[in-house]
Structure 1
Amino acid sequence: MSVQDVDGVVAEDAGWEVDPGDEPVMAVLAVVGRRLKDRRERAGLSAAELGDLTGYGEDMIRKLERGDRIPRPEFLDRADEVLNAGGVVADLKNDLREVRYPKPIRDLAKMEGKAVEFNMYTNFDIHGLLQTDEFSRSIMQGWRPMYTPAQLERYLAAREARRGVLMKDPAPEFSFVQEEVSLRRPVGGRMVLRRQLEHMLEVSELPHVSIQVMPTERAEHPGSSGVIEILKFADGKAVGRMDGDFGGRPVSDPKRLRFLDLRYGIIRSMALTPVESRGFIERLLGET
């Protein structure tokens, strides 16, 4: 938890940890921290008093004001109310909208925000853009080395924000191919998996989203080397990556992109059709 609960227990952390080497984030946090401190002083409150009123300790308030932590949205809402700031403090969430996420995810989200076409093949986990919050949490809790609670919440918030690209207007075109095994693994338990499958059926009804299943019985297909992701942009450019080729690094030169396009096209042609895939997921639901 990040706010004071109904029993009056004080939460430990009002903000996410930040990498001191992430200069863009540090610059924004310095400005946000000064504004927060200015509003606190205008209200005639000490850092300890603001901590008491918001459910956090004095040390945490000072970390936020120094720019040592990224304030959580719920903290800024509570501080705005306590300081009678008229939305000035709460509006700081807009300054933090992008920088509150880890840099690799910020960079990925920027590319996804510009893409007009997504081609995604996933052979182990359900793709992050298709996951429910509880399914994402269950997956990340199983990673090793383990995230700290603050790190986990930060990455979950970032993944949730990325999913907003599915509802953009105008909407990009999405093509997902999922290996059958990724839909059978009961991550988080049977009910978590069941709600995940139900969510995928809902997403598959969107007119700009195609979800296909690659049956395990396909003895050979070109997806054995790993995940493929291709983003295409309105200006005709693209970027793609594949686990087993090019060192897993993103590529944008036409020759390598043609290689990825060819491989993805074959995978898609060998998978069940979108209609067949919906029926397959519905049958899995009946078994779960």
Structure 2
Amino acid sequence: MVERGERPPKPGYVDAVDAALDAGGVLRVLIPDVAEKHHPAWAEEYVKLQAEALALHSYSTHFLHGVLQTEEYARAVFRSVRPSMEDDEIERSVQARVATQALLTRKPACRMTFVLEEPVLKRKMGGQTVWEGELRNLLKLSELHNLQLQVMPLARETHAGMDGPMTLLETPEHHTIGYVAGQQGSYFLTEPDDISIMSHRYGTIRSQALDAEVSRAFIQRLLAGEA
């Protein structure tokens, strides 16, 4: 069905076929043309910008950024969406989300920082097994040289993130773009004054969060049932 153009290939399929046929990358260049669009129209531009970003900085308040999600966790997130999604729509969305994680190992490496609210880590999205798998995934990702995870503890008495989640992307042209997700869609911020405010706010959030080593230890304690 893929060969006849009746079904879009799953992530990795074209790479495998290219290698099996010793095509030398000829088939891989067609990936953007044959891949099905799984993201809402308002998210397509963000997905493209993220894939090309020199740097990604994200502050999460309700659930983990897509780049950090295991397949099982992503499935649980989409199953939580209301109105409910159809099963096939959920699976397409999960595969699309997993595909964005190529950013983790892309060359040249993307510089990434993530600040996670403590309740995001404690929320057992998908149940105990999925939750534990996600925590192990975060510990593994925290070992990447180009990625830093920080936890914003509930005990913090002053908090610069009261306006909610945010993402900052640095483009290949070294421009910084702000991205804010909302209930019925999302929007970009590009004006220098807006970016200055967001950058300052994100820097303050990072300074208020636990550092990377303490955050990693916090996740380990959660996994061990000690936090």
Specify the TM-score bucket, using the shorter chain as the normaliser.
Answer: 0.7 to 0.9
Residue in 2 that maps onto 1:72: 8
* CA–CA separation in structure 1 for the residues paired with 2:22 and 2:142: 38
Give the number of the structure whose residues are more often helix, by fraction. 1
Match of 2:4 among 36, 40, 64: 36
Residue in 2 that maps onto 1:227: 165
Residue 59 of structure 2 is aligned to residue 121 of structure 1: yes
User: In structure 1, what residue type is equivalent to 2:74?
Assistant: S
User: In structure 2, what residue type is equivalent to 1:73?
Assistant: P
1:209 deviation in Å?
0.3
User: In structure 1, what residue type is equivalent to 2:147?
Assistant: V
Q: Which has the higher contact order (CA 8 A, sep 6+)?
A: 2
- Flag the 1:185–1:95 CA change in 2: closer, same or farther, 3 A: closer
- Give unmatched runs, 5+ long, in structure 1: 1-13, 16-34, 38-63, 65-70, 78-85
Residue in 2 that maps onto 1:264: 202
Please tell me whether the aligned partners of residues 225 and 243 of structure 1 are also in contact (alpha carbons under 8 angstroms).
Answer: no
* CA–CA separation in structure 2 for the residues paired with 1:155 and 1:248: 17
Residue in 1 that maps onto 2:179: 241
Cα deviation, 1:156-200, whole Å, max 9, x if unaligned, reads: 111011111111011011000000000001111111111100000
Please tell me whether the aligned partners of residues 110 and 146 of structure 2 are also in contact (alpha carbons under 8 angstroms).
Answer: yes
Cα deviation, 1:125-164, whole Å, max 9, x if unaligned, reads: 1111101000110111111111112211111111011111
* CA–CA separation in structure 2 for the residues paired with 1:97 and 1:206: 31
TM-score, normalised relative to structure 1: 0.67
Query: Aligned pair count?
Result: 211
1:256 deviation in Å?
0.5
* CA–CA separation in structure 2 for the residues paired with 1:207 and 1:95: 28
Cα deviation, 1:94-129, whole Å, max 9, x if unaligned, reads: 354544333344322210122111110001111111
Cα deviation, 1:20-73, whole Å, max 9, x if unaligned, reads: xxxxxxxxxxxxxxx838xxxxxxxxxxxxxxxxxxxxxxxxxx4xxxxxx132
Equivalent residue runs for 1:167-246 within 5 Å: 167-242=105-180
* CA–CA separation in structure 2 for the residues paired with 1:242 and 1:200: 23
User: In structure 1, what residue type is equivalent to 2:37?
Assistant: R
Please tell me whether the aligned partners of residues 99 and 106 of structure 1 are also in contact (alpha carbons under 8 angstroms).
Answer: no
Cα deviation, 1:204-229, whole Å, max 9, x if unaligned, reads: 00001000000011133111211110
* CA–CA separation in structure 2 for the residues paired with 1:248 and 1:161: 21
Match of 1:277 among 215, 218, 221: 215
Please tell me whether the aligned partners of residues 47 and 100 of structure 2 are also in contact (alpha carbons under 8 angstroms).
Answer: yes
Please tell me whether the aligned partners of residues 53 and 169 of structure 2 are also in contact (alpha carbons under 8 angstroms).
Answer: yes
Residue in 2 that maps onto 1:146: 84
* CA–CA separation in structure 1 for the residues paired with 2:158 and 2:225: 26
- Let me know the Cα RMSD of the aligned residues: 2.7
Residue 69 of structure 2 is aligned to residue 131 of structure 1: yes
TM-score, normalised relative to structure 2: 0.83
Tell me, what secondary structure is at the counterpart of 1:118? Answer: strand
- Give unmatched runs, 5+ long, in structure 2: 14-20
Equivalent residue runs for 1:89-108 within 5 Å: 94=31, 96-102=33-39, 103-108=41-46
Which structure has the greater CA radius of gyration? Answer: 1
